[in-house]
């Protein structure tokens, strides 16, 4: 074996109540379709021969040092508590310490059935695997905390999702896979001992400076507040912000029916299963607060003085909207090229966005075009922009450095939904050219790349993808 993954596992050392030992289930004919060399280097992994890597990242061969397991968790799905979820189609191989000193999980997603699969087949099909690969790596390049993609393998087996589709396995890398739902399950069971152990583990692993359950709650709040504001700043819609998809680390996790805005409208929803629009673009900050309240409720279960704990937790949660808004203001101020805060900023930003929504302006291209004289072209009625521009120019005053600030804050390239769908359709026919091209272009999202201008173009009427579907 030439592939070398320097495992250093900690989660597997926890008591067995937190997981089930579970080897991945072998597949028929694994074929490595993507491998992330840069990430491998960061993880201090020595890549092996292609065939060998296909075997390992498909789950056919458990690498030395791995202690494969499926994690237990619960969660609120669309507001309803589900008392038992868990890794139903994922297997944690173990952890490595990166060249940057950071500990990360290496997980196979789509690795077969586990004790938590319920009715599912434990598998994933190629579409969502490649979607997560491209979008999570794009998020990373945009500077947004996220899980990452180390490898993708086609299994050579079909999975059945109304029709037969090619099966695949994604190797996902995460700061950890601890979720709000990981705490919820032990709180709901009244298992205070496990809840306390989990709290200690999470603090040690992610927020060593935090003191006690309320210290952890505060740290998670701050990380999530920063994350959600960043999503908003690039027009990202997660799509399934259930508490089991909300990571304690503050990373974006579980890319399912996610998508980026093309035309800006605050109530945009892509997910086919989000019928009520619970996880619409503009609702994300409120949902993040709701999720934090669920974490607070779970953590309180281990506190002796419940009344005092409720009071403290309430205060921590209630501060979250203001913290998100503070980050949001900083980020959108940057998007307008403003260097210093001013009390009228909120009004100026909102006024632009209202006009964008009324004029079907493309979110990404409008902000990017603020660095040029052509932003008005993004509006069905360019005069609506002109009126706002006068106010903006007055506020900007001295133009020094404005263009550079705008270009540094506003990407030229995002993983547009129609390109992702085109990429998946091609890959199903074994054409990975667009997959490779998207990865290359999206690795430098803030650079003008005139030769790739087609990838910054919004969808034509025919290309619009109105709905995205879950990976299940």
What residues are labeled active site? 244
Q: Which of 9, 171, 245, 359 binds Mg ion (CB under 5 A)?
A: 245
Q: Which of 86, 285, 301, 411 binds ligand AMP (CB under 6 A)?
A: 86
d(CA 282, CA 263): 14
367-372 contacts at long range (C-beta below 8 A, 24 or more positions apart): 367/335, 367/406, 367/409, 367/410, 368/406, 368/407, 368/410, 368/411, 368/412, 368/456, 370/335, 370/336, 370/337, 370/406, 370/410, 371/337, 371/402, 371/403, 371/406, 371/407, 371/410
Which CB, 256 or 458, lies closer to ligand AMP? Answer: 256
Q: Residue 420's closest CA among 368, 462, 472, 455?
A: 455
- Specify whether the CB–CB gap between 126 and 167 falls below 8 A: yes
Q: Which does 472 bind (CB under 5 to 8 A by kind): Mg ion, ligand AMP, none?
A: ligand AMP
- Specify whether the CB–CB gap between 133 and 153 falls below 8 A: no
Kindly write out the interface string for residues 251-290 of this chain, putting x where it contacts ligand AMP by CB under 6 A and - elsewhere.
---x-x----------------------------------
CB of 245 to Mg ion, least distance (A): 4
CB of 109 to Mg ion, least distance (A): 10
Contact stretch for ligand AMP (CB under 6 A) within 50-58, 82-90, 197-205, 318-326: 82-90
Which CB, 132 or 137, lies closer to Mg ion? Answer: 132
472 binds ligand AMP (CB under 6 A): yes
**How far is the first Cα of the chain from the last one, in angstroms, to the nearest whole number?**
33
Contact stretch for ligand AMP (CB under 6 A) within 28-36, 120-128, 211-219, 401-409: 120-128
CB of 296 to Mg ion, least distance (A): 21
120 binds ligand AMP (CB under 6 A): yes
Q: Which of 30, 63, 94, 122 binds ligand AMP (CB under 6 A)?
A: 122
Q: What residues between 219 and 258 interact with ligand AMP by CB under 6 A?
A: 240, 245, 254, 256
From residue 369, alpha-carbon distances to 19, 362, 372, 455 in Å are: 49, 10, 5, 15
CB of 115 to Mg ion, least distance (A): 16
CB of 20 to ligand AMP, least distance (A): 13
254 binds Mg ion (CB under 5 A): yes
Please give the residue whose beta carbon sits closest to ligand AMP in the complex.
120
Q: Residue 122's closest CA among 81, 97, 94, 159?
A: 159
d(CA 237, CA 256): 10
The dihedral built from the CA positions of residue 72, 78, 83 and 88, taken in this order, carries a sign that is negative
Contact stretch for ligand AMP (CB under 6 A) within 121-129, 215-223, 306-314, 341-349: 121-129
Contact stretch for ligand AMP (CB under 6 A) within 87-95, 321-329, 376-384, 406-414: 87-95
For 202, the 3-state DSSP assignment is: helix
How many other CB atoms are there within 10 angstroms of residue 451's CB atom?
8
CB of 3 to Mg ion, least distance (A): 28
- Specify whether the CB–CB gap between 86 and 178 falls below 8 A: no
The first and second tokens of residue 375, run together, are 């932003």
Judged by phi (left if over 0) then psi (alpha if -120 to 50, else beta), residue 308 lies in alpha
Contact stretch for ligand AMP (CB under 6 A) within 35-43, 86-94, 358-366, 409-417: 86-94
**Residue numbers of the site for Mg ion (CB under 5 A)?**
245, 254
**Residue numbers of the site for ligand AMP (CB under 6 A)?**
85-89, 117, 120-123, 240, 245, 254, 256, 470-472
């Amino acid at each position: 074996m030439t592939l070398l993954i320097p495992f250093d596992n900690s989660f597997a050392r926890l008591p067995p109540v937190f997981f089930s030992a579970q080897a991945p289930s072998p597949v028929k004919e694994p074929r490595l379709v993507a491998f992330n060399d840069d990430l491998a280097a960061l993880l201090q992994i020595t890549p092996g021969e292609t065939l060998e890597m296909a075997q390992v990242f498909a789950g056919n061969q458990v690498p030395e040092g791995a202690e494969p397991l499926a994690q237990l968790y619960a969660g609120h799905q669309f507001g309803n508590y589900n008392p038992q979820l868990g890794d139903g189609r994922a297997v944690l191989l173990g952890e490595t310490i990166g060249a940057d000193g950071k500990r990360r999980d290496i997980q196979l997603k789509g690795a077969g059935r586990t004790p938590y699969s319920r009715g599912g087949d434990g598998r994933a099909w190629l579409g969502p695997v490649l979607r997560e690969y491209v979008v999570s790596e794009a998020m990373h390049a945009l500077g947004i905390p996220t899980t990452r993609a180390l490898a993708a393998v086609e299994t050579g087996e079909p999975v059945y999702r109304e029709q037969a589709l090619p099966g695949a396995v994604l190797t996902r890398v995460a700061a950890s896979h601890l979720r709000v739902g990981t705490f919820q399950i032990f709180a709901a069971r009244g298992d205070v001992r496990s809840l306390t152990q989990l709290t200690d583990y999470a603090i040690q692993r992610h927020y060593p400076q935090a003191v006690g359950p309320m210290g952890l709650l505060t740290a998670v709040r701050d990380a999530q507040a920063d994350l959600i504001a960043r999503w908003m700043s690039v027009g990202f819609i997660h799509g399934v912000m259930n508490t089991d998809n909300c990571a304690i680390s503050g990373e974006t996790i579980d890319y399912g029916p996610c998508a980026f805005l093309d035309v800006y409208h605050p109530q945009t929803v892509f997910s086919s299963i989000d019928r009520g629009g619970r996880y619409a673009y503009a609702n994300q900050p409120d949902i993040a607060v709701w999720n934090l309240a669920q974490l607070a409720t779970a953590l309180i279960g281990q506190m002796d003085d419940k009344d005092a704990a409720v009071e403290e937790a309430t205060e921590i949660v209630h501060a979250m909207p203001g913290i998100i808004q503070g980050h949001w203001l900083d980020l959108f101020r940057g998007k307008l090229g403003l260097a210093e805060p001013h009390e009228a900023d909120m009004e100026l930003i909102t006024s632009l966005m209202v006009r964008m929504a009324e004029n079907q302006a493309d979110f990404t291209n409008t902000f990017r075009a603020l660095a040029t004289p052509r932003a008005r072209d993004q509006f069905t009625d360019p005069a609506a922009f002109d009126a706002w521009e006068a106010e903006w120019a007055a506020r900007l005053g001295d133009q020094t450095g404005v263009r550079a600030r705008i270009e540094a804050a506003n990407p030229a390239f995002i993983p547009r939904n129609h390109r992702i769908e085109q990429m998946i359709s091609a890959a199903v026919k074994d054409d990975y050219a667009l997959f490779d091209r998207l990865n290359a272009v999206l690795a430098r999202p803030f650079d003008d790349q005139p030769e790739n201008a087609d990838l910054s173009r919004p969808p034509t009427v025919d290309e619009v993808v109105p709905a995205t579907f879950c990976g299940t």
